[in-house]
Amino acid sequence: MLNPDCTAEPDEGVKALALLENFFAAVDRGELLRMPGDTAPTQLREALHRAMVRLLIWDRPYLQGERGLLWPLAELAKRTGVFEAAAASASRPEQRRQARLFLALLPFPGQWRRLDREADRRPLEPEVAQRLRAVASKAAVKVRSRAKQPLRIRNICQVIKPYHGPQEKGILRIFSIPYLFASDPLLELLSSRYLFYVEPAMGVMFRHGWGRAFGKLHDPCVFGMPGADDRQFLTGQDNIVPVPIAHGDFLEDIDPPPRPTEPRFDLVFNATFDDPARKRHHLMLELLLRPELRQATALFLGRGEESAVADFSRRVQALDLDRRVSVAANVRRGAVPEYLAQCKIGVHLSLNENGCRCIPEFFRSDLPCVVSSAMAGLDFSMINEATGRAATDPELASAITATLGERARFQPRRWFLQNCGSRRATARLNTIFRELFAAHGYRWSEDLVPLTGSGASRYAVAADYQRFVSEFQWILDAFQHLGPLPLKLILE
């Protein structure tokens, strides 16, 4: 029998990887089809889910070095047929039941469909009920965090193609608190007029069970997911079309401010101070203590609560880095290019994102960028000979040093203008939806409006919002038609 506590190794990443390896080996030996009762497989599934989160969220650099970032989901996919066969025709009912639960509660291809199927069974499996409660609870916390004041409907979604009747539906872009939309009755009503383009703020989608609501609709839903493992998971779910376009790809072009002959800072690290564990501010500070970077100066730029900024500043002082490190907190977005003009290169080390804005922002300001090659939520085709380097954690200090020394050979702004930005990203998305409409028998007489990656309405042309006010009112009425909400939505 496979033991969830398969190793006494204190490192959580090592334990998580060993658990997955043992699980896959046990499946290949056929052991999981001879489990005697409920307790052991229940504990095992819980442990496996935690291991997936550990490795694909917090221990990505370790997983990258040991097995590769796509390994866990790929290994599950290889064994899907074993569990499907057992769920359909195992000799004992208990074996069939356990196989069904593995398929519904672990990120196999088609997991969301199977989880919904289990949710419809009566009596409901306690394990399934617990997972559904956890998904709902996390979503509720996210929604409540936005309930401090009334929220304009255009702050969470955007009509990007108008509704022209049942034969030519519109397209609704959902870019904030998408879990608020993940209600079957609401989506059914909205889908009578729109197809959806969903841009979750965070990636690593296997842990976000709310997304399964979008897969139950008649029309396919497009998810903007630049990360390879996110697209790997979503490709296996019903009716979800993942595309590598989101948020930062729609960054509007501007002429960068003049750069000083000798910039003040060697590098800029742009990340919110409120989420240092994910953004890995600590790692950047550690790198600045390495011999290769002992003379480097750095600007830490980002938003954050006053207490979080103060905590970071104290950490800088404790490491005796305050003469080399400057902090600029809560700078207006429009002023960011002025700060970037004072820097030589950008560095981004986050563990996970989804369509990160700051990397194309570096490129737009003609800064080459060094990124962690373990990051989730980044389309790594953006990091190339023209734009910068992707490096493993052990290679980061030397990669930063090399990029600083060779920065004149990079052409990040030229690459940005040729491959990125509002106009080009909108055109790419337009092609995707136009082909999707044709494949599903819808007419197409009007293209998407130009998009941007930020701002209250995310329209490149301000007048487009006024064009669609009546449609926003209809969307607001759809929310209100379904009863009280945990936050107050308004038109203006």
pLDDT (tens digit per residue) in 30-47:
887 666 555 588 999 999
Say yes or no to pLDDT of 272 above 60: yes
Share of the chain above pLDDT 90, in %: 79
Exposed/middle/buried for 167, CB within 10 Å: 0-12, 13-18, 19+? exposed
pLDDT band at 98 (very low <50, low <70, confident <90, very high): very high
What crossing angle do the helices spanning 93-105 and 111-119 adopt, rounded to 10°? 120
- Reported for 381-386, long-range contacts at CB under 8 A and 24+ positions apart, including other chains, are 382/419, 382/420, 384/415, 385/410, 386/410, 386/411, 386/412, 386/414, 386/415
Going by C-beta distance under 8 Å and a sequence separation of 6 or more, which residues neighbour residue 286? none
pLDDT at 401: 98
Q: What is the dihedral of CA 368, 372, 378, 382, to 10 degrees?
A: 30
pLDDT at 198: 95
pLDDT band at 14 (very low <50, low <70, confident <90, very high): very high
Residue pair 384/414 in contact by the 8 Å Cβ criterion: no
pLDDT at 38: 56
Sheet holding 194-198, edge to edge: 157-161, 170-174, 194-198, 221-224, 240-243
What average pLDDT does this structure show over 350-369?
94
pLDDT at 403: 98
What average pLDDT does this structure show over 333-338?
91
Question: What span, in angstroms and rounded, lies between the C-alpha atoms of 244 and 377?
Answer: 9
pLDDT at 328: 95
Q: How many CB atoms lie within 10 A of CB 353?
A: 27
Lowest mean pLDDT among 23-37, 112-126, 141-155, 292-306: 23-37
Say yes or no to pLDDT of 388 above 70: yes
Question: What span, in angstroms and rounded, lies between the C-alpha atoms of 107 and 110?
Answer: 8
pLDDT band at 255 (very low <50, low <70, confident <90, very high): confident
Superfamily grouping for domain 265-419: Glycogen Phosphorylase B; (3.40.50.2000)
Say yes or no to pLDDT of 10 above 50: no
Question: What span, in angstroms and rounded, lies between the C-alpha atoms of 21 and 33?
Answer: 17
User: Which residue is listed with tokens 């080459």?
Assistant: 368
pLDDT at 2: 47
Say yes or no to pLDDT of 230 above 70: yes
pTM comes to: 0.92
pLDDT band at 91 (very low <50, low <70, confident <90, very high): confident
Q: Which among 33, 165, 53 is positioned nearest to 98, based on CA atoms? A: 33
pLDDT at 1: 41
Backbone angles phi, psi at 326, to 5 degrees: -115, 150
pLDDT at 142: 87
What average pLDDT does this structure show over 223-237?
93
Question: What span, in angstroms and rounded, lies between the C-alpha atoms of 417 and 423?
Answer: 10
| Mean pLDDT value across the chain | 92
Span 164-192, pLDDT tens digits = 999 999 999 999 899 999 999 999 999 99
Backbone angles phi, psi at 201, to 5 degrees: -65, -30
pLDDT at 39: 59
Say yes or no to pLDDT of 400 above 80: yes
Q: How many CB atoms lie within 10 A of CB 202?
A: 16
Inter-CA distances, 219 with 164, 216, 292, 301, 340, Å: 16, 9, 53, 41, 42
pLDDT at 6: 41
Say yes or no to pLDDT of 127 above 90: yes
pLDDT at 37: 57
pLDDT at 486: 86
pLDDT at 36: 58
Q: Which among 284, 282, 244, 252 is positioned nearest to 376, based on CA atoms? A: 244
Span 99-125, pLDDT tens digits = 999 999 999 999 999 999 999 998 999
